Amino acid sequence: MIVVMRRDAKEQDIEHMVRQVESLGLKPTVLRGTERTVIAAIGDERAAAAIGVLESGAGVDEVLPVLAPYKLASLETKAEPTVVRAGSLTVGGGHLGVIAGPCSVESEEQIIATARAVKAAGATALRGGAYKPRTSPYSFQGLKEKGLQFLALARAETGLAVVTEVVAAEDIEIVAMYADVLQIGARNMQNYRLLEAVGRSHLPTLLKRGPSATIDELLLAAEYILDAGNQQVMLCERGIRTYEAHTRFTLPLATVPYLHLKTHLPVVVDPSHGTGHSPLVPAMARAAVAAGADGLIIEVHPNPEKALSDGYQSLTPEQFADTMAGCRKVADAMGIKM
Amino acid sequence: MIVVMRRDAKEQDIEHMVRQVESLGLKPTVLRGTERTVIAAIGDERAAAAIGVLESGAGVDEVLPVLAPYKLASLETKAEPTVVRAGSLTVGGGHLGVIAGPCSVESEEQIIATARAVKAAGATALRGGAYKPRTSPYSFQGLKEKGLQFLALARAETGLAVVTEVVAAEDIEIVAMYADVLQIGARNMQNYRLLEAVGRSHLPTLLKRGPSATIDELLLAAEYILDAGNQQVMLCERGIRTYEAHTRFTLPLATVPYLHLKTHLPVVVDPSHGTGHSPLVPAMARAAVAAGADGLIIEVHPNPEKALSDGYQSLTPEQFADTMAGCRKVADAMGIKM
Amino acid sequence: MIVVMRRDAKEQDIEHMVRQVESLGLKPTVLRGTERTVIAAIGDERAAAAIGVLESGAGVDEVLPVLAPYKLASLETKAEPTVVRAGSLTVGGGHLGVIAGPCSVESEEQIIATARAVKAAGATALRGGAYKPRTSPYSFQGLKEKGLQFLALARAETGLAVVTEVVAAEDIEIVAMYADVLQIGARNMQNYRLLEAVGRSHLPTLLKRGPSATIDELLLAAEYILDAGNQQVMLCERGIRTYEAHTRFTLPLATVPYLHLKTHLPVVVDPSHGTGHSPLVPAMARAAVAAGADGLIIEVHPNPEKALSDGYQSLTPEQFADTMAGCRKVADAMGIKM
Amino acid sequence: MIVVMRRDAKEQDIEHMVRQVESLGLKPTVLRGTERTVIAAIGDERAAAAIGVLESGAGVDEVLPVLAPYKLASLETKAEPTVVRAGSLTVGGGHLGVIAGPCSVESEEQIIATARAVKAAGATALRGGAYKPRTSPYSFQGLKEKGLQFLALARAETGLAVVTEVVAAEDIEIVAMYADVLQIGARNMQNYRLLEAVGRSHLPTLLKRGPSATIDELLLAAEYILDAGNQQVMLCERGIRTYEAHTRFTLPLATVPYLHLKTHLPVVVDPSHGTGHSPLVPAMARAAVAAGADGLIIEVHPNPEKALSDGYQSLTPEQFADTMAGCRKVADAMGIKM
């Protein structure tokens, strides 16, 4: 860490901060500049709330971290890319996984019809929510275990791996009975009790970025899962909240190459939530592939006008087939298996 | 709701949308303009995913909601302000409640010393975290039940009501054994399983706004608690995530008068998280009072340089006493009891 | 427009608003719902500050616009895509234009070397700033007319069209003597005096989106140019300001398909400013092509370490050649001419 | 500056960066940590595009600036607060200046009536736009010189200093003939040609923060004016663009105490643009005073429903008088002259 002293810092402030740095187990070096003094604190700064401790010192202007706060997720810790495999789904290592299906499981017919359609178009896993976190208590909250059973039937029919959301630690056991991949939704990215429990489960996990999470926060959320012993983690960019109102969220695809420079974990993109409008999904799915995404997760509904949730961002099976065709051309051009 | 059709919508699209509106139990009125046709859908539009259903119709450009999505929290449902009372703490109805204390409970000595100091300066409740949601798995995670016991000792010593965070539904029982007010942290504002459980608990609750939550989302989160039967809800503005980097979060005080126009629930402001830097806290605490806040929640630590979390935004007891003096002048000028 | 009345609006408020709507030349229709009354105001609502006038009426809750505020830029006004041509550069209509070059023109040698290198790699126009708007008064401010002369020499050498920024109306005459395309920078997107002057110039224009501009604001800025008689306008997405700090700006590529649904003007993407870090540029350039962009503008410098501005986001000629190779594969796969 | 090397940086990369630091006239110190090496570069880092030059070096992870980029605006350069005086208006040094009036000058009657009303309620200067930068080319663009003449008449009638916007360098001469204070609008905060010209004018200037400007960018914009020799600069916080949609902008009042820690220039708050809704203005005006603002600028219109611009955020004269009464109570409690 670098402790930047204020211009009017007294000599005793500097001496005090040197001792503070030492008391954290770090090695201080005092650098006196023309206008200010800075103290470099060398060592593993991640331990403890070191920044906070130093920032509240007298005469301190600011404290600049030098090391990334995450370790296990870092490319510096593990250089080869992690490949996540769950039944029919492979994500990473040159394979583009495609997870498709409705926002919510609504009925046996709906999920089986969707599973067949998305498989025919090239999807390699089926998504569908049984436990739904909904902004309003008056919205449809999901079919719960019944929904999980329908997902398992769809897997039996099509062979597609099942990806479904888990919203609380106490539900993991039942969800794990039916699902191949646990999804942690954006609202729960910092639900640490849930992250720890998913970590202990050792099930392949899709971790969605919270709509106001920084990349460091996303990687630290992954770190909770990795630290509990589960290495099968996919990160998912699904859009962030910005001032833009013509899309539901703003989808920052630079997340994909940036994460590939920082972490070995594979990166999945969700153009459905990332835009919130089905006419924008095909272009953003193609763009995600071109940006180097390791996977896509796309909402598809046999009849979006009748969907109990998120109809406006769901593709019809026909639109999804067209989207896949566009993505495949880009993937082929780039030498990605799809 | 207002369904705005595209300029190139066909007559059959309009007829289809009229039937869709009717199928939702709403009454359609077709208005043909010079450039476009709009269909007004009159009735209680909150039920079901009505907007989504209509937005995915052929020929539809956009759907504009007319009614606020929340009911029980609305000033239109209950016109008189809700006053939340928990032991020594009264929030709302012309009373300014002041909740102060450390980010984390660290020891018996620390919490008792802080409780005495903040009471002497005018605080009416004690805050302190025993279960801490932390961004990094390597940070201090709280003393858990031991911390709750220390809080109860501090209450026995000072008479101050205890406000502490609950991070999972399964912890409510134990936290409720020691605390007077349950706090739902910003990261958990949309943890619906937790909201429902807190709602069933009937304990006074401080609900913090998520850093990227809209006001409607905050009120819908409160609606989960209200809908489960718990009317003792305080809303807390603690800053939102914006592009500003000189403060930890951006504290939008217009939330206070805006909420007072929309809801009967009292509004508490957190200038500590809202700025993230202790030198900015006193001015923002005064500003919150001047904006009409019903309460303040402020981090105070006997020795911020030794704090295990959030030291850089904690006031010393002396700084807190000065802050209270400043707030009291403003409160007195405005006729608010403090 | 739709005027939504408050639940407690009085009958006289409603009658007053009906007259207000009429006084704006719009046709009112009163719709009485179960909870609220709304007044639909049919007609061309763009004239005057109609929303503001209605919003301040007694008993009014909010006013929802129905028509887009721009006309000439709208796809509803002109259905066929606009193609912008300037010498060697063609943007739109299935042609991907590639504008490349340094942030600033620094010397004759630098700009000619860059022009040759980018042409060899496939660029169809040369960029380079002679008049530089710089955040700090202490930064390099550009070579001014000397820089324009160097750009003209580079065009003579390579045949590449010249794209360069104009920062004030009084500079248009001199810039137009040397440049093929006028660039309006992000900071000047709402410099209306400049927009009007550029509109009167009838020169092909590249209009960059301001970092906090909405799409409607961008299209209204274009509307100033179109309204002054200049139809040769390219829109440029160059990233918006969000809470993300790992990139200089957040590049929202959904702008590309969204604009294609709303306007006939071609869309250029700037992955250099949009990310601010050269290692992210190649992936985002490919993604922009896959999203359907009509053009790219990319910073290239023969020696980024010696650049007087923006070196950290400039590609070397070799990196640019690799980037072009990647983009060409995607463009070929999608049937776009490049 | 601190140059943070990547973990895999080679020894020759480090040696190269040491020479780069020296070539910038800075003194390098190499600090070898357990995981990474950092190079401290001591000296005046503001000159040239030093960060960019260093960031593009091989093996460099990031470059952290240590010094603030502005000098003349810094409290470290001038410790005593700047007081701006223009006729009846005093801003800073314990005086709260109040600038009030309509968004646009619409007629002689309108501006004189408003001037009388705001003076009676306690305003110390009159605002009113004659040259209006408007988002849409179809909106009212201002009365131009005729508007300036009406403002001068209102000053003759009431003695109030006149504050009005200037949108282009070529208008300064004519605006200066009538106005006491030049206002630079938010859209022009980075119109450097205008800033330089206003700097040379030596007229008291109100510089509004751009809606996506950082505080450093605001202070650097002020630096352009100060550097041109004009010391009479007021900074104005008028709200920033965030994801919040219930207010027109988000008004971050922490700007006030933060700027007071960084600069000697006085700080004015605009609660009208900062909220965009007149019912929220009184509370935010009081809050600004409590936060320590040196001035307020508030929109007042004799008949907001008939305003040609911004009616929805304008107070009536009666509402303004009430607002002033509330602000005066807070100012009195805090010992501020108003």
Closest residue by Cα to residue D1 from D34, D32, D38: D38
Query: Smallest Cβ distance to B56: which of A137, A192, A305?
Result: A305
C170 touches chain D (CB under 8 A): yes
Q: Which two tokens stand for residue C281?
A: 């540029």
A280 touches chain C (CB under 8 A): yes
A197 touches chain B (CB under 8 A): no
Choice among A140-154, B24-38, B39-53, D85-99 with the minimum mean pLDDT: B39-53
Higher pLDDT, B24 or C95: C95
The pLDDT value given to residue B66: 77
Residues 6+ positions from D206 with CB-CB distance below 8 Å? D99, D163, D181, D182, D183, D184, D234, D236, D268, D297
Q: Which residue of A has its CA nearest to B310?
A: A52
pLDDT bracket for residue C311 (50, 70, 90):
confident
Cβ of D40 within 8 Å of Cβ of A36? The answer is: no
Residues of C in contact with A290 (CB under 8 A): 283, 286-287, 289-291, 330
User: C122 and C12 in one domain?
Assistant: no
Report the Cα B22 to chain-centroid distance in Å: 37
Residue A316 lies in a domain: yes
pLDDT bracket for residue D281 (50, 70, 90):
very high
Between CA C272 and CA C270 the distance in angstroms is 5
Query: Smallest Cβ distance to C53: which of D168, D241, D311?
Result: D311
- How far is A83 from chain C, CA to nearest CA, in Å? 21
Residue D71 lies in a domain: no
- How far is D71 from chain B, CA to nearest CA, in Å? 18
D7 touches chain A (CB under 8 A): yes
- DSSP symbols for D125-184: EEE-BSS---SSTTS----THHHHHHHHHHHHHH--EEEEE--SGGGHHHHHHH-SEEEE
Cβ of A240 within 8 Å of Cβ of C242? The answer is: yes
C191 touches chain D (CB under 8 A): yes
Residues of C in contact with D70 (CB under 8 A): 136
User: Residues 239..268 of C with a Cβ closer than 8 Å to A: which?
Assistant: 240, 242-247, 250-254, 256-258, 261
User: D133 and D240 in one domain?
Assistant: yes
Residue type, B189: M
Q: What is the pLDDT of residues A119-139, one digit of tens each?
A: 999 999 999 999 988 888 888
Residue C70 lies in a domain: no
Residues of B in contact with C8 (CB under 8 A): 76
User: D141 and D45 in one domain?
Assistant: no
Cβ of B191 within 8 Å of Cβ of A192? The answer is: no
Cβ of D310 within 8 Å of Cβ of C134? The answer is: no
Percent of chain D with pLDDT over 90: 75
Query: Smallest Cβ distance to D332: which of B243, B247, B333?
Result: B333
User: D325 and D190 in one domain?
Assistant: yes
Query: Smallest Cβ distance to A287: which of C243, C291, C332?
Result: C291
Closest residue by Cα to residue B285 from B315, B259, B312: B315
Tallying the residues shown for chain A, one arrives at: 338
Cβ of D36 within 8 Å of Cβ of A245? The answer is: no
Choice among C213-217, C268-272, C310-314 with the minimum mean pLDDT: C310-314
Q: 10 Å Cβ neighbour count for A119?
A: 19
The pLDDT value given to residue C63: 83
Closest residue by Cα to residue C238 from C214, C205, C289, C273: C273
Residues of D in contact with A76 (CB under 8 A): 7-8, 35
Residues of A in contact with B307 (CB under 8 A): 49, 52-53, 56
The pLDDT value given to residue A60: 87
Tokens 């980037």 sit on residue = C323
- DSSP symbols for D60-128: EEEEE--S-S-STTBTTT--SPP-EEETTEEEBTTB-EEEEE-SB---HHHHHHHHHHHHHHT-SEEE-
The pLDDT value given to residue C312: 83
Between CA D159 and CA D139 the distance in angstroms is 31
Residue A286 lies in a domain: yes
Report the Cα A34 to chain-centroid distance in Å: 44
Residue D76 lies in a domain: no
Between CA C295 and CA C192 the distance in angstroms is 25
User: B297 and B153 in one domain?
Assistant: yes
Cβ–Cβ under 8 Å, residues C168 and D169: yes
Cβ of D193 within 8 Å of Cβ of C167? The answer is: yes
User: D51 and D126 in one domain?
Assistant: no
Q: What is the pLDDT of residues C183-242, one digit of tens each?
A: 999 999 999 999 999 999 999 999 999 999 999 999 999 999 999 999 999 999 999 999
Cβ–Cβ under 8 Å, residues B78 and B23: no
Query: Smallest Cβ distance to C224: which of D48, D137, D191?
Result: D137
User: A46 and A114 in one domain?
Assistant: no
Q: What is the pLDDT of residues B214-229, one digit of tens each?
A: 999 999 999 999 999 9
Q: Which two tokens stand for residue A264?
A: 């070995």
Among D104, D312, D315, D318, the residue to mutate for chain C (most C Cβ within 10 A)? D312
Between CA B324 and CA B332 the distance in angstroms is 12
Helices B108-121 and B317-334, interaxial angle, to 10°?
A: 30
Percent of chain C with pLDDT over 70: 98
Q: Which residue of B has its CA nearest to D250?
A: B252
The pLDDT value given to residue A278: 93
Q: What is the pLDDT of residues A274-333, one digit of tens each?
A: 999 999 999 999 999 999 999 999 999 998 888 877 778 899 999 999 999 999 999 999
Cβ–Cβ under 8 Å, residues A321 and C294: no
The pLDDT value given to residue A136: 86
Among C286, C329, C336, the residue to mutate for chain A (most A Cβ within 10 A)? C286
User: A211 and A124 in one domain?
Assistant: yes
Domain finish residue from A64, A99, A118: A64
User: B174 and B110 in one domain?
Assistant: yes
- How far is B120 from chain C, CA to nearest CA, in Å? 39
Q: How many helices (H) and strands (E) does chain C have?
A: 11, 14
DSSP, collapsed to helix, strand or coil, labels residue A149 as helix
Number of domains in chain D: 2
Subunit partners of chain A (3 or more CB pairs within 8 A):
B, C, D
Q: How many CA atoms lie within 13 A of C219 on its CB side?
A: 21
First-to-last alpha carbon distance for chain C, in angstroms, is: 43
D166 touches chain B (CB under 8 A): no
User: B108 and B247 in one domain?
Assistant: yes
Between CA C39 and CA B59 the distance in angstroms is 23
User: A88 and A60 in one domain?
Assistant: no
Residues of A in contact with B57 (CB under 8 A): 305
Cβ of D69 within 8 Å of Cβ of C136? The answer is: yes
Which range marks the domain in which residue D304 is found?
84-334
Residue D69 lies in a domain: no
Cβ–Cβ under 8 Å, residues B39 and B2: yes
Cβ of A326 within 8 Å of Cβ of C332? The answer is: no
Domain finish residue from D64, D95, D113: D64
Residue B78 lies in a domain: no
What mean pLDDT is predicted for residues C50-78?
Answer: 83
Residues of C in contact with A289 (CB under 8 A): 290
CATH number for A7: 3.30.70.1140
Residues of B in contact with A279 (CB under 8 A): none
What mean pLDDT is predicted for residues C23-44?
Answer: 84
B67 touches chain C (CB under 8 A): yes
Q: What is the pLDDT of residues D195-215, one digit of tens each?
A: 999 999 999 999 999 999 999
C43 touches chain B (CB under 8 A): yes
Q: What is the pLDDT of residues B248-296, one digit of tens each?
A: 999 999 999 999 999 999 999 999 999 999 999 999 999 999 999 999 9
Residues of A in contact with C214 (CB under 8 A): 243-246
Q: What is the pLDDT of residues A193-217, one digit of tens each?
A: 999 999 999 999 999 999 999 999 9
Query: Whole-number mean pLDDT of chain B?
Result: 93
Closest residue by Cα to residue D209 from C267, B116, C212: C212
Residue D30 φ/ψ, nearest 5 degrees: -95, 125
DSSP, collapsed to helix, strand or coil, labels residue D44 as coil
Closest residue by Cα to residue B290 from B326, B315, B259, B261: B326
**Which helix (H) or strand (E) segment is C54 a member of?**
helix C50-55
User: B47 and B92 in one domain?
Assistant: no
Q: What is the pLDDT of residues A34-86, one digit of tens each?
A: 778 888 888 777 655 566 678 778 888 888 877 788 999 999 899 999 999 99
CATH number for B304: 3.20.20.70
Residue C76 lies in a domain: no
C333 touches chain A (CB under 8 A): yes
Query: Smallest Cβ distance to A291: which of C246, C261, C284?
Result: C284
Between CA D152 and CA D327 the distance in angstroms is 28
Residues 6+ positions from D235 with CB-CB distance below 8 Å? D207, D209, D218, D219, D222, D259, D263, D265, D266, D267, D268
